[in-house]
Structure 1
Amino acid sequence: MTRAKRISIWAIALVGLMTVTSAAKAGDYDFKSKGVYYKKNGLSGAFSRVAKVVPEKASYPYYTADANKPTGDISIPRTVTERKALGFVDIPYIVTEIGDYAFYGCKGLKRMTIPSSVHRIGNEAFRECSWMTSVEVSGNGLRVIGDAAFAGCDHLERVNIPHGVTKIGRAAFDLCGNLEKLDIPSTVTAMGDNLIEDCDKLKTITVHWATPIDVPANAFSGSQNRITLKVPRGTEAAYRAHAVWGRFKVIEPTANEAVEASRIYTSDGALRLTLPSPEAVYIYGISGAMVKRLALPAGNHVQPLPAGIYVVRVGDAVAKVIVN
């Protein structure tokens, strides 16, 4: 065999290997709907099937071609249907997660809407979606925003972090150069480091804790000199005395807002309470009969209840809620 022929064979083999490596493998995703890829993710409760949004491929590069990447304005549905072949029953799935790397490098994304059924946005889920301008999260179902979830989204102008989120990962908004404000709810109990590195247009961060939580020393990447921290009225001294929050050059009270009041809402078949101070909680059925009386400390609480309509009283606050 000549040397030239051997080189040619090796080149063909290398091209074949690269093709196999870059192709999506069976099992990387289970089905596709309206340009978005989904992976079945087990059951929620006794009967509901759940799925998560995933990239086309499980390993980098996460898409085999730019033409396969989701683009434009995308609204993730609460329930997505796997279309079966003719003669088979279509199967619905509740979407509960935006998986790791789900939209990594999808530069054609413009606006994203996420339903209340989603409880986690994975690590690097939207990394380098550089032309995406806004993310709207519905309801209070979201609990976790993963590491570098929105890193490199340099045209992102607006993202709402809903009440109910408990963790924001490291570098979650790194290199979001057009983000101007960030509002962090009181339900957040943990934040990673370098949260807002190179967010050059960020002007204000608004928080709602009655007592400032501890965060990593470099959580704000040394940007405190140019960003205004807005806090509940009456808590300014506590924030100024804190080792990390106190580094903000300007700390001022949020207009017309005192310490956040109790929050009463339902999600995932349970009553959820956020209490700024210890409280007695009274839960009544629709008939008026007391169902439960609870003495709860300050913080976030989950109280499972049978499906139905309830009246909940916390201090002076009374709310009518529906548990599905």
Structure 2
Amino acid sequence: MKNNNVIGPKEAKIYAKNLTEIGDQILKIDDNTFKGRTVIRTAKLTPKVREIGNNAFAGCFQLRRVLDMYNVEIIGSSAFEKCHKLCEFSFPEKVTEIRPETFKFCTGLQKFSFPDESNLKRIDDSAFFECSKLNRLVLPEEVEYIGKKVFFARKCLSIFIYRLK
């Protein structure tokens, strides 16, 4: 039985040529939905999107921006892996963990920000592996766990943890 609130790889063909906005009724972008679709430059989510699956945008080499992630609660492993042109990312307030390899090889990532009321508790293994242009990251104080090789890169990275409240 087909779930009309989930977009998967088959439905992605509709969006992939000129992605501007994910449909109004979509709650989840399923695993591998846009994986390897190199023509996508911008992904504009709607307020109903709650989950981005594993590898959902992996290998979208031209992806530069992901907009309107206000209500996203879950971002899967490797969701944005190898999105080389992704240069800026505003992390959603409701997400509690950055899963393994979420931003691995996002070599263009320069700016990564967290909201003032971040719920982030965990950053898993290799989450920012080889994000070589990311040179400064301010983590919420609520982070309780940082995995292995999270910040492995060729260049130096300054990491700051500050009190939100």
Residue identity matched to 1:54: G
CA distance in 2, matches of 1:107, 1:181: 22
- Shift of residue 212 of structure 1? 4.3
Deviations 1:244-293 (A, max 9, x none): xxxxxxxxxxxxxxx323xxxxxxxxxxxxxxxxxxxxxxxxxxxxxxxx
- Which structure shows the higher strand fraction? 1
- Structure-2 separation of matches of 1:220 and 1:184: 16
- Tell whether 2:133 aligns with 1:201: yes
**Is the Cα contact below 8 Å between 2:120 and 2:143 reproduced in 1?**
no
Q: Percent same amino acid among aligned pairs?
A: 23
Counterpart residue number, 2:124 = 192
In structure 1, distance between residues paired with 2:159 and 2:18: 34
Q: 2:29 corresponds to which residue? A: 98
Does structure 1 conserve the Cα–Cα contact (< 8 Å) formed by 2:125 and 2:148?
yes
Please provide the CA RMSD for this pair: 2.3
Cross-structure match for 2:61: 130
Q: Would you identify which runs of 4 or more consecutive aligned residues in structure 1 move more than 4 Å?
A: none
Higher RCO, 1 or 2 (CA under 8 Å, sep at least 6)? Answer: 2
Q: Which runs of 5+ in 2 are unaligned?
A: none
- Distance in 1 between residues matched to 2:99 and 2:57, nearest whole Å: 13
Structure with higher helix content: 1
The alignment partner of 1:112 has SS state of strand
Aligned to 2:17: 71
Pair 1:113–1:69, CA change in 2 (3 A): closer
Distance 1:152 1:121, change over 3 A: same
Q: 1:108 to 1:224 in 2, by over 3 A?
A: closer
Paired residue total: 163
1:153 to partner: Cα distance: 0.6
Q: 1:167 aligns with which of 76, 97, 120?
A: 97
Aligned counterpart for 2:40 among listed residues 109, 113, 119: 109
Distance in 1 (alpha carbons) for counterparts of 2:44 and 2:65: 8
Q: State how 1:1-324 maps to structure 2 within 5 Å.
A: 39-40=2-3, 51-56=5-10, 70-77=16-23, 79=24, 94-139=25-70, 141-185=71-115, 186-209=118-141, 211-221=142-152, 223=153, 226-232=156-162, 259-261=163-165
User: Is the contact made by 2:137 and 2:157 (CA closer than 8 Å) also made in structure 1?
Assistant: yes
Q: CA deviation at 1:225?
A: 6.4
Residues 121 and 143 in structure 2, CA contact (< 8 A), matched pair in contact too? no
Structure 1's unaligned 5+ residue stretches are 1-26, 28-38, 42-50, 80-93, 233-258, 262-324
How far apart, in 1, do the equivalents of 2:147 and 2:101 lie? Answer: 12
**Distance in structure 1 (CA, Å) of the matches to 2:105 and 2:69:** 24
Alpha-carbon distance, 1:231 to partner = 2.8
C-alpha deviation, 1:69, in angstroms: 6.9
Alignment TM-score, normalising by the size of structure 2:
0.86
SS in 2 for 1:56: helix
Q: Are the aligned partners of 2:36 and 2:58 in contact in 1 as well (CA < 8 Å)?
A: yes
d(CA) in 2 for partners of 1:116, 1:192: 26
State how far apart, in whole Å, the 2-side matches of 1:215 and 1:147 are: 15
